[in-house]
Structure 1
Amino acid sequence: MAVDANVLIFERFKEEIAAGKILRLAVQAGFKRAFVTIFDANMTVIITSCILFFLGSATVKGFAFSLGLGVAVSMFTAITVSRTLLMLLIDASWIHNPWWFGGKRGYDK
């Protein structure tokens, strides 16, 4: 799920770059567009883990707890940590070219 979230975010980010937005605005729009899909997928898994936790045996409860905790941490890192690292990368003085992020050649900040 974490990989899927980051793939969704990066694809939305690339679409925004292709639409001609500057890098910082493309990141913000990409995360905003991907959030609903990521949230929906993760909430479905959390609801499933809650059902497993309340209806399962002790072993299944352990799995359900681990699954729910893993999905929550994965969602947090996909949304906050990935955004922070991407913004730091864009703010770096040596990488202003949208081509590095899947866009057309040219310089933009």
Structure 2
Amino acid sequence: DKEERRWGKELKEAMELGFGRAWDSIRDANLATLITVFILFNPFSWSFLVTSGMVRGFALTLGVGVLISLFTGVVVTRTLVRVFYR
């Protein structure tokens, strides 16, 4: 936001550019965590991954938390910022 404002962009345009640039980092971090969740959950019962019920429970909790965090971090925050801007 600050960089775009220094370049003379309008506030709304600066916000949208900031959201767009932030999305790449948010997506990459959450995708890496969701891949880890998939491996820990071991849905195909791969024999080389020995997971217990506690590990699967942790993976499920982590996955749900990441998805909720992703939703609130992207959709809710973006919506609230747009509403407050108006």
Q: Same fold (TM over 0.5)?
A: yes
Selected match of 1:43 from 1, 23, 31: 31
State the superposition RMSD in angstroms.
Answer: 1.1
Aligned to 1:52: 40
Larger Rg: 2
Q: How many residues align?
A: 79
Distance 1:70 1:14 in 2: 30
Instruction: List alignment gaps of at least 5 residues for structure 2.
Output: 43-48
Instruction: List alignment gaps of at least 5 residues for structure 1.
Output: 1-12, 92-109
Selected match of 2:73 from 78, 91, 103: 78
TM-score, structure 2 normalization = 0.84
TM-score, structure 1 normalization = 0.68
Stretches (4+) displaced over 6 A: none
Residue type of the alignment partner of 1:44: A
Higher RCO structure, 1 or 2 (CA under 8 Å, sep 6+): 1
